[in-house]
């Protein structure tokens, strides 16, 4: 099974400053159809998760452009260009290339 490893697990950030979360998979996430099905989710306190990013770098509907995704193969990154108060929460990467699908452990973003 594919294992997704996020770092850091806790990320204190200053408002207005950038933030970056890493996600690594135990094997390549390139699908036989040529796509890489790597997603990023945000879960604000007390809320359901919502998808921010799909296929590495595509923003979901209504997602602010301060969120960006990058990477390839086994190494991926979620970046927030300027952290806002509403960005506090837990962020998860998830691979949908291989069965079983797998989430990372989550990275808790909090304001310093």
Using CB under 8 A, list all residues that contact another protein.
Answer: 35, 37, 39, 41, 43, 48-51, 54-55, 60, 92, 94, 96, 99-106
Least separation, in Å, of the C-beta of 16 and another protein?
28
Q: Report, in Å, the least distance between residue 82 CB and another protein.
A: 25
Rounded to whole angstroms, the Cα distance separating 112 from 102 reads 30
Minimum Å gap between C-beta 1 and another protein is: 9
* Burial class of residue 7 in the structure, from the number of CB atoms within 10 Å of its CB (0-12 exposed, 13-18 middle, 19+ buried): middle
């Amino acid at each position: 099974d594919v294992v997704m490893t996020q770092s850091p697990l806790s990320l204190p950030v200053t408002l207005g400053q950038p933030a970056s979360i890493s996600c690594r998979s135990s094997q390549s996430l390139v699908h036989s159809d040529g796509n890489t099905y790597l997603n990023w989710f945000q879960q604000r306190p007390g809320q359901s998760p919502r998808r921010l990013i799909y296929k590495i770098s595509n923003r979901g509907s209504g997602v602010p452009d301060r969120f960006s995704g990058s990477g390839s193969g086994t190494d991926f990154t979620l970046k927030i260009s300027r952290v806002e108060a509403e960005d506090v929460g837990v962020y998860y990467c998830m691979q949908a290339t291989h069965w079983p699908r797998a989430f990372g452990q989550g990275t808790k973003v909090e304001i310093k």
